[in-house]
Amino acid sequence: MNGKPMQDVLHVMRRYDKSEGPSIVAEFYRFLARITTTPEATQRAIVIAELKSVDNSKFGFVVKLRQTSRTLFASKAIIDAASNSFRSA
């Protein structure tokens, strides 16, 4: 992806388990720390995780994952594309 090995840009979150919550979140934050945006380039990554909710917001959507309380954001175009590609999900 963008010339980088998939293992560097893909993170699959472990299934939610309350007893392992802190280590799941720590792994996710370590992954996010490697994704940076500079004036020259915007890095992209793929996260596979269990959705807790996808809610409308003023500028698109607020995406919450079951494994973490961190709030993520997505544009309407991204949510529409995912909805069209994965209707049953």
25 inside domain: yes
Structural domain tally of the chain?
Answer: 1
Report strand pairing: 71-74 vs 51-57. unpaired
1 inside domain: no
Q: How far is CA 43 from its chain centroid?
A: 13
Domain span holding position 30: 6-85
44 inside domain: yes
57 inside domain: yes
What is the per-residue pLDDT for 48? 92
Helices and strands in the chain, H and E counts: 3, 5
Residue with structure tokens 């979140």?
25
What is the per-residue pLDDT for 73? 92
63 inside domain: yes
pTM score of the predicted model? 0.76
The H or E element containing residue 6 is helix 6-9
What is the per-residue pLDDT for 61? 95
What is the per-residue pLDDT for 74? 92
Residues of the chain scoring pLDDT < 70: 88-89
What is the per-residue pLDDT for 26? 94
